[in-house]
Amino acid sequence: MPAASFKRVLLKLSGEVLMGSGEGGGGLAIDPAVTARVAQEIADVRAQGYELCVVVGGGNIFRGISAAAKGIERATADYMGMLATVMNALAVQNALEQIGVETRVQSAIPMAAVCEPFIRRRAERHLQKGRVVIFAAGVGSPYFTTDSGAALRAAEMKCDALFKGTSVDGVYDADPKKVAGARRYDTIGFGAVLSQDLKVMDASAVALCRDNNIPIVVFNIREHGNFAAVLAGQGTSTIVQAEEMADARL
Mean pLDDT (whole number) for 53-72: 86
Look up the domain containing 29 and give its range. Answer: 3-245
Tell me the C-alpha distance between 232 and 43, whole Å. 15
250, part of any domain: no
132, part of any domain: yes
Instruction: Judge whether residue 25 has pLDDT over 50.
Output: no
Mean pLDDT (whole number) for 107-118: 97
Helices (H), 102-250: 120-128, 146-156, 190-195, 203-211, 226-231
Structural contact between residues 11 and 55, judged by C-beta atoms closer than 8 angstroms = yes
- pLDDT tens-digit readout, 119-154: 999 999 999 999 999 999 999 999 999 999 999 999
Instruction: Judge whether residue 249 has pLDDT over 70.
Output: no
**In the prediction, which pLDDT does 62 show?**
87
Helices (H), the chain: 32-46, 64-69, 74-98, 120-128, 146-156, 190-195, 203-211, 226-231
**In the prediction, which pLDDT does 181 show?**
87
Tell me the pTM.
0.92
**In the prediction, which pLDDT does 207 show?**
97
Residue 13's nearest CA partner among 26, 37, 5 is 37
- Residue 23: pLDDT band (50, 70, 90) is very low
Mean pLDDT (whole number) for 185-195: 95
- pLDDT tens-digit readout, 45-55: 999 999 999 99
227, part of any domain: yes
Mean pLDDT (whole number) for 87-104: 98
Q: Report the number of distinct structural domains present in the chain.
A: 1
Structural contact between residues 65 and 90, judged by C-beta atoms closer than 8 angstroms = no
The CATH number assigned to the domain holding 116 equals 3.40.1160.10
